[in-house]
Amino acid sequence: MLYFICSFLFLSFSLLAYSPSLTTLAVVFLGKLIIEFIDSGRFKEFCKKAFFSHIWVLYVALASAFVYVITLKILYYNGIYDPNAYNTKFVEIADLPQKILDTLSISFALLTTTFPFITEKYKLVLMGIILVAIVSVARLMFKKPLLNLYKFVIFMGMGILTLFLTQLAGLLASSDSAFGIRLQFFGITYFYALCVALIMKYGNIVIKNIGNLLIVIAIFISSVNDIQAQKIWKLAFDNEMRLYYSVINRITYNENYSSKKDYTYLQVGVFQGFSQQYYPDKYDQASGEMLNFRYQLKGKPMFVFNFLYPEFFHYEYIKIGQLIEKYDKKMDRELSDFILNKAEAWPQRNSVYVSDNYILVVANQRELNRLKAKIRRNRNRRN
């Protein structure tokens, strides 16, 4: 009973902390069943034994999922949880069949899909590890082909199901998050670990040596990719910090700026990230976590500025999508005229504006054009 309670609590906390942890549980559990199946005799005996031995896992998963859903409902009714956000909205029942087919296709595609710092050579080596794992089990089973052909087919089916479950988080979510690299850390890595376990457990000396060689090559390529990633991330981070220092200098040296005042900081758009400018290789799928995201916390430069120049920012940060709705009526005419007639994108001279109440930084020309159009529409409505 204590074992059940602890498992229930840990899984519930894991789901509430980050729901893709359910993917890890599914992949590891099915991997365990695969090994038990290979070691078993008849399929019916395996099913009976597995059911009675592991039924508690199903109970734990269902109880934890129930607590997870109830908690989301409580948060929703208290205005804390948004059920329509990209990472919280569940797939509709009517869309589930098509989502299952798409997820199955994606689970196979991800075996060869490259990402920044996850290269084609690395993927090929990992594919080799999967093939060697299959050969290890096939060699064991085909000692008696007529008796074990059906067992090998079942093994392959369980393997495909395991690969499918590596995308469980993407299957349950309504958004298209299939190629989110952070979700892969919760699933596909454990699938590769299962393949290594199959090689070490069932391969003969030759197969194990081939598997060990591929594992060493994978570790080497991964280490090289990690070093390249660290170098590019460091270059990008340093240059992004230099950019924010430049912004601060432009603001503090503005003739209208006073360190004794509090300002509302308004930023039009976001500054371009640096990481992707330094990455030389081609890849199939972009990844925000690996390359495209900027280093400013939560996308808000106020967090960076508070570290670089803590005395400077006693202000409220406003997302640009809320700028007009929240500030247009009380925005002084001088600021809105500046946006319409003089504002330019960084690093032009008129990309920074300081008045008695506002600091405006224009980071992006496209967002500036959208902002100008919005101000004009609002003025026309008033007129």
Q: What is the pTM of this model?
A: 0.77
pLDDT in tens, 319-376: 444 444 444 455 567 888 888 888 898 888 899 988 887 888 888 888 888 888 878 8
What rounded mean pLDDT belongs to the chain? 78
Structural domain boundaries in the chain: 2-203, 237-382
pLDDT at residue 274 greater than cutoff 70: no
Nearest by Cα to 365 from 350, 380, 379:
350
pLDDT for the residue 303: 59
Q: What pLDDT does 216 receive?
A: 96
Q: Tell me the pLDDT band of 197, cut-offs 50, 70 and 90.
A: very high
